[in-house]
Amino acid sequence: MLALSILVAIVCLVTALLGIYYTARDLSADLVLLGACALAALTWVVLGVALGLRDLGGGHPPDPITLYGYLLTGVLMTVGGGWVGVWERSRFGSLVIAVVALVSMVLLLRLTQIWPGGFA
């Protein structure tokens, strides 16, 4: 799970840096930035599926409702940021994607703090 968490963090960081670059250059979100946002959402889904399969196999997180709430929030927030990027055709759509990616990284960091043994 640690490798998946690192992958989510890297994809979110790259997406945030792309969003900041697009915002600084006054560009609206194009397929590259939206694709990075979709990849970030996909990595959140993969992490959630892996944790779900681990729990079905006998692992028991201390608070599964909060764990899966965080995972669902990560997915929905990233999809929502991409949705705003599609419909807001100014630099602010790119800024929303950058902020969502940064908040996703903080959410992932918080997940590993709450369940320190769950991601090793």
Q: How many CB atoms lie within 10 A of CB 118?
A: 19
Residue 17 has pLDDT above 80, yes or no: yes
Contact indicator for 71, 48 with CB cutoff of 8 Å: yes
Residue 16 has pLDDT above 80, yes or no: yes
pTM, two decimals, is 0.87
How many angstroms separate the CA atoms of 3 and 36, rounded?
19
Residue 98 has pLDDT above 90, yes or no: yes
Q: Please give the pLDDT value at position 117.
A: 56
Residues 24-80: tens digit of each pLDDT: 999 989 999 999 999 999 999 999 898 888 878 776 767 778 888 888 999 999 999
